[in-house]
Each structure stands twice: as C-alpha cells, then as structure tokens.
Amino acid sequence: MNPLKYKEDLHIYNDIKKEVRSMRIITALFFAVPYILLAKDNRYFYLTLLFGFIFLLVQVLKVKSPWIPVVLTLLLNVSIVATTGIQRSPFMFLFLLPVITHGIERELNWALRVAFINVVFLVIFEIYSAITGDFFGVGYISSVIVLMYYLSKIIVEAQGSILSYATDMKEKAYLDPLTGLYNRRALEEYINSMILNKVPFTLVMCDLDEFKRYNDTYGHQAGDMMLKKFADILKTSIRSSDLSFRYGGDEFVILLLGELENLTPLYDRIKNKLKEQSNDIGVSFGVAIFPKDGKSLDRIISIADNSLYEKKKSLNNRNISSF
C-alpha cells in the first residue's frame, strides 16, 4: 500500500481539456473560411463539411471515448488535404495539430500513437506524389513527417520530465525531512481514503517518554539523531503491509491493516529495540481501531490521543510514587 498514490488533480486536468477543446473548435472555425474558398469546386467538398460538422459536435458534446476524436480528426484532415491539392495542399500542416492536442490532453503515449496513424496516411500521399513525379510534394510531405516525429518526441520527453518533477515534488511534500517517514498530511489523506473505502485498520500513536529531558541533557542534535533512530525502529518493527508516520515533534503513528486487539508483541519489539539505543528514553502507546472506536479521522485520532494520554499519566504517577 502506498499513501502517495494520489488522486489526479481533476481541476487542473479539466482546465487543460477545456483549453485543448477550445483550441480545436477555434482552429476548425478559422480554417473553415479559407478551405471553403479553396475547395468549393471539388465534388467531395460537402463530405469534408460533414466531417467538420461531426468533429465540432464531438468537441461540444465532450465525447469520452479517446479514439472517436482521433479518428474524426484523421478523416477530416485527410478529406481536407485530398480536396485541396493532396501533396500540394496548403493544409498539410493540420496533421501536426492532433499530435500536439492529444499529446497534451492525454497520457504520454498518445502523441506517438496519433503520430504513427497520421504518418501511415502521409506515406500514402508521399507514394502518390512519387508516382506522379511531383518531387516537391515528396519533399513537402517528408518535411511534415520529420517535423511530426520530432514534435511527438519533444512532447513525450517534456511531459515525462514534468511528470517526474511533479511526482518528486509531491513525494517530498508528504515526507518528513528529518526521519524520512510520511508526515501528518500523508497520514490524514491516507486515513480518509481507508475510511472512504471502509478498510478496517488499527492506529497506534507513539510518544517518546522523557524526550524533552534527553534533548536538554544531550542537545538538539542528539535529539534529532534519536528521532531518526526511532523512525528506523518503527520501520523495521512493522509488517510490509503497515505504515509508519511522524505525526509531529516526538509523536509518531503506526497504521496497521485490520482490527488488531493484541498489540503487546509489537509494543515489546519496539521497546526492546529502543532500549538497545538508549536507556534514557522510553515510549508510550495509544490505540484506536476503525470502525470499532470511530468512523471519522478526528474521532480515531482523538481516541488514540486520549489513550496515549492515559498511558503517560499512569506512567508519571508510577514515577512519582517510586520517587
């Protein structure tokens, strides 16, 4: 399980789709006039207009199928080029636009998919140019194909870099820089996700005993080192299906899959490993179980926090009695 398997930012994604859709509609409307003036005498002129109308309709209706806009754009571009001079058509560059729009709007591979499909038809036009001896047309179409190749490659590489950077930044935003554990923000998002999906879990809140005195005695650098060591202890004490978080200060949280009642072996394991590091620090635990103890993030945290407070209060009372 990975708490950083985040939901896609729908707001940004929808804005991008809206902009791309607007670009398609505006481009189609702007080039409609010069196309009509140039191709009005061609007998297949009205077929292109039909494709254009369907294309605009699909954009307005926001058809969800990814392939319908691709196929319609291809048919529209082929018909435009075929009715305006084929290899000498001034609209040959329109084959580049779907590579850009689908590459931006969808995942990385769409730029390559659309480019490959378009190249098949461009090669057919190129062969026709070679057969008819129109070497200007051959050179013109070859230039468009080469440009399409580099364009799709640039889009894929740029999007890959942006995605990698965004993922890295998001990962850092959910990590505690000192211990390397997931932070409170990650904990809250992950718990909310588990509650939403009705996944039972056990939350254990851990608090280091006498940590302030340890800090005052040995210094903050030693205190930071102890926090790092305790984070490592948590990571090596839990199952692969469980997660550990730094909640804040000297408070940590363990999130265990399932409704677990007997946590004594886990507590002992953590205490023994901590004792190997220092005799000056102990650890107290508070626990809450979802959905048994609560059905909301605030309730679960509150139950665990209260449980931890009672344990620490009991420990302090014992220390006072011993004194």
Q: What per-residue confidence (pLDDT) applies to 170?
A: 61
Strand partners, 288: 203
H helices of the chain, where? 10-39, 45-61, 67-82, 97-105, 109-131, 135-173, 184-196, 211-218, 220-237, 264-277, 297-322
- Res. 6 pLDDT band, cuts 50 70 90: very low
Instruction: Determine contact, residues 204/264, Cβ cutoff 8 Å.
Output: no
Look at residues 123, 120, 101 and name the one whose alpha carbon lies nearest to residue 110: 101
Q: Which tokens belong to 120?
A: 């098949």
Alpha-carbon distance 245 to 255, whole Å?
A: 8
Q: What per-residue confidence (pLDDT) applies to 323?
A: 43
Q: What is the dihedral of CA 44, 48, 54, 58, to 10 degrees?
A: 150
Q: Which tokens belong to 313?
A: 């209060």
Phi, psi of 253 (to 5 degrees): -130, 140
pLDDT tens digit sequence for 147-184 = 998 888 887 777 666 656 555 656 677 889 999 999 99
**Total residues belonging to the chain:** 323
- The per-residue b/e assignment along 66-98, b for 16 or more CB within 10 angstroms, e otherwise, is eeebbebbbbbbbbbbbbbebbebebbebbbbb
Q: What is the dihedral of CA 234, 237, 243, 248, to 10 degrees?
A: -20
Domain range list for the chain: 10-172, 184-322
Provide the 10 A C-beta neighbour count for residue 34: 12
- Res. 4 pLDDT band, cuts 50 70 90: very low
pTM over the 0.95 mark: no
Tell me the percentage of the chain whose pLDDT exceeds 70.
88
3-state secondary structure of 146: helix
Q: Write the burial class of residue 7 (CB in 10 Å: 0-12 exposed, 13-18 middle, 19+ buried).
A: exposed
Q: What per-residue confidence (pLDDT) applies to 1?
A: 44
pLDDT tens digit sequence for 74-97 = 999 999 999 999 889 999 989 998
For residues 29 and 6, the model is more confident at 29
Q: What per-residue confidence (pLDDT) applies to 11?
A: 52
Four-way CATH pick for 184-322: 3.40.50.12160, 3.40.50.300, 3.30.2320.80, 3.30.70.270: 3.30.70.270
Average pLDDT over residues 199-221: 93
Calculate the average pLDDT of the chain. 86
Q: What per-residue confidence (pLDDT) applies to 322?
A: 43
Measured CA to CA in angstroms, residue 159 lies from 113, 163, 208 at distances of 15, 6, 44
Average pLDDT over residues 116-140: 92
What are the residue numbers of the active site?
Answer: 250
Q: What per-residue confidence (pLDDT) applies to 247?
A: 95
Whether pLDDT at 313 is above 80: no
Alpha-carbon distance 299 to 127, whole Å?
A: 71
- The per-residue b/e assignment along 152-179, b for 16 or more CB within 10 angstroms, e otherwise, is beebbeebeeeeeeeeeeeeeebbbeeb
Q: What per-residue confidence (pLDDT) applies to 9?
A: 46
What is the number of alpha carbons within 13 Å of residue 206 lying toward its C-beta? 24
pLDDT tens digit sequence for 91-118 = 998 999 888 888 777 766 777 888 899 9
Q: What per-residue confidence (pLDDT) applies to 47?
A: 92
Instruction: Determine contact, residues 188/297, Cβ cutoff 8 Å.
Output: yes
pLDDT tens digit sequence for 217-272 = 999 999 999 999 999 999 999 998 899 999 999 999 999 999 998 999 999 999 99
Helices 135-173 and 97-105 cross at an angle (nearest 10°) of 10
Q: What per-residue confidence (pLDDT) applies to 163?
A: 59
